[in-house]
Amino acid sequence: MNVEELYAAAKDTMTVKRVYAEPIERDGLTLIPAAAVAGGAGSGSGHDKDGGEGSGGGFGTGAKPAGMYIIKDGQVRWQPAVDANRVITVAGVIVVTALIVGARLARLIRDSG
């Protein structure tokens, strides 16, 4: 795969269809799921002192649910997705920080009294 083919494949991957899914219609509601999509590509080429040449490249994409638009009776509202892993990670960081700070405060109080 040459560099032009690589960029064409990356461009085909990063389309609006990756962000917004097909609308789902049920019981008077229209749901349009949405995702946060990110990607990147890179390539390079060169040659060595003996005249050998080479090139390479790659691209990657990632997506995670962002939420969905809910349409009912002509009104649109946004319902964000909840990332349970992020909630658990943040809660864990807060608990560990509180334990460390509490231990240091207890040591300070004990040493000063």
d(CA 37, CA 92) in angstroms, rounded, equals: 26
Task: Tell me which residue has tokens 């609308």.
Answer: 23
Residues 11/39, Cβ–Cβ less than 8 Å: no
pTM over 0.95: no
Residue 2: the pLDDT is 66
CA distances from 32 to 5, 64, 65, 87 (A): 32, 15, 12, 24
Tens digits of per-residue pLDDT, 11-38?
A: 777 776 778 889 999 999 999 999 988 8
pLDDT digits (tens, 9 = 90+) for 78-93: 999 988 888 999 999 9
pLDDT band at 97 (very low <50, low <70, confident <90, very high): very high
- Under 8 Å between Cβ of 4 and 23: no
| Residue that is written with structure tokens 């649910």 in the block | 65
Instruction: Determine the Cα–Cα distance for residues 89 and 49; give it in Å rounded to an integer.
Output: 50
